[in-house]
Structure 1
Amino acid sequence: MKKRYFLSAGIATIGSIWLSDYLPNKVQGKTTKIAENHQFEIMKTEQEWRKILTPAQFEVLRQHGTERAGSSPLDLEHGNGTFACAGCNLPLFTSTTKYNSGTGWPSFYAPIEGAIGTTIDRAFAMTRTEVHCRRCGGHLGHVFADGPKPTGKRYCMNGVAMKFIAA
């Protein structure tokens, strides 16, 4: 009986971790945690953010949501230009550092120097490095250590959190 209990508990734990990105962010306890703990150059109330952002942008940038993989046109954007924060227009990444990671999200191997900040995200027993805009604190995505040279980093960003500005 004990073996069955531990097997069931293990499967439930693994399932919860795997499903964590698909559960509502309030269940994950991730609502605006960065904005509550830090001061940024651009600070707005929730109502002010809602006025300037689409509902999808607000969910990702202000509530730490994740867009569905493959849903962003920016994943397929290969033009020459800059990817900027959808909340405050700060340039974040250049097209020269973008690559196709095969994940369904726009990926880069390096940000523009001084454009981003990071925090540790420990939701559902996982430890990830969360990436946010250093100017407005908007949640952009996560960075992983499985990217290409020269940095070995994969900045896996939510396309809805950015906009592309052609050069």
Structure 2
Amino acid sequence: MADLPKISSKNYQKNIQNLTEFQKYVIEQNGTEPAFRNLYWDHHEEGIYVDASSGEPLFSSLDKFDSGSGWPSFTKPINGIEVIKKTDHSHNMKRVEVRSKFGDSHLGHVFDDGPIEKGGLRYCINSASIKFIARKDLKKEGYEEYEKLFI
């Protein structure tokens, strides 16, 4: 699964143009959306979550869990997908920021308080940074290689 769908500059520009001002704030200026008041914190449909700007696959619903934080939480990225981790000292805290590799979008942060039996990590992600692709739409949207995650 290390091969990513083709991410063209044309699609990237189209995606960027379709982002809301709030999404641009979160993605480009490292913003954070309110807990419990975002699109995917309580979303349970099968599918994958991709970068809202680049379209690169990031997380699977199979790795999503209810952390009680009010943001979408995942135990890991999709196998073979690399996200960028950076030390973040903003707001007088020491955290690890998570960014998409190709879009360089601010996604959220990763913490070490996730489920122990699944590696102990919690990727706390902003809904504004991601787009959900339902399992039934994977092929139509160009992500057919990820259908095998759900078999």
Q: TM-score under structure 2 normalisation?
A: 0.76
Q: Given the alignment, which residue of 115, 125, 129 partners 2:96?
A: 129
Give the fraction of aligned pairs with identical amino acids, expressed as a percent: 40
Cα distance change, pair 42–123 in 1 and its aligned pair in 2 (3 A): farther
Contact 1:74 1:106 in 2 (8 A): yes
What CA distance in whole angstroms lies between the structure 1 residues aligned with 2:37 and 2:91?
Answer: 24
Contact 2:57 2:81 in 1 (8 A): no
1:65 matches 2:26 = no
1:159 matches 2:123 = no
Contact 1:80 1:95 in 2 (8 A): yes
1:47-80 deviations in Å (ceiling 9; x for gaps): 9986342111101000100001111121111111
Which structure has greater helix proportion? 1
Contact 1:94 1:111 in 2 (8 A): yes
Letter paired with 1:55: E
What CA distance in whole angstroms lies between the structure 2 residues aligned with 1:146 and 1:161?
Answer: 22
Question: Which consecutive segments of 4 or more residues in structure 1 shift more than 2 A?
Answer: 47-52
Contact 1:132 1:139 in 2 (8 A): yes
Give the Å deviation of 1:124. 3.5
5+ unaligned residues in a row in structure 2: which ranges? 1-6, 136-151
5+ unaligned residues in a row in structure 1: which ranges? 1-40
Larger Rg: 1 or 2?
1
Letter paired with 1:125: N
Letter paired with 2:28: R
Q: Which residue does 2:59 correspond to in 1?
A: 93
Q: TM-score under structure 1 normalisation?
A: 0.69
What CA distance in whole angstroms lies between the structure 1 residues aligned with 2:8 and 2:97?
Answer: 19
